[in-house]
C-alpha cells in the first residue's frame, strides 16, 4: 500500500471555445457508440 491508495485525485482541464466545439462532437460520437445516450446528449447540449 502507498499514500496513493488513500487519496482521491482529480484533474482540471481547460479548453478553448474552438476546442470545445471540436471535442464535443467527438465526445458525442464516442458516447453514442458506447451506448451512453445521456453523455452523448450532454455533449451535444454544450455545443448549442
Reported as a single tens digit per residue, the pLDDT across 12-41 is 989 898 988 999 999 999 999 999 999 999
Q: What pLDDT, on a 0 to 100 scale, did the predictor assign at position 4?
A: 86
**Crossing angle for the helix pair 37-47 and 17-33, nearest 10 degrees?**
160
Name the pTM for this structure.
0.64
Q: What pLDDT, on a 0 to 100 scale, did the predictor assign at position 47?
A: 86
Amino acid at each position: 500500500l502507498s499514500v496513493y491508495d488513500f487519496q482521491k485525485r482529480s484533474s482540471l482541464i481547460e479548453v478553448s471555445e474552438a476546442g470545445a466545439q471540436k471535442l464535443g462532437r467527438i465526445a458525442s460520437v464516442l458516447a453514442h457508440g458506447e451506448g451512453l445516450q445521456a453523455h452523448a446528449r450532454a455533449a451535444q447540449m454544450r455545443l448549442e
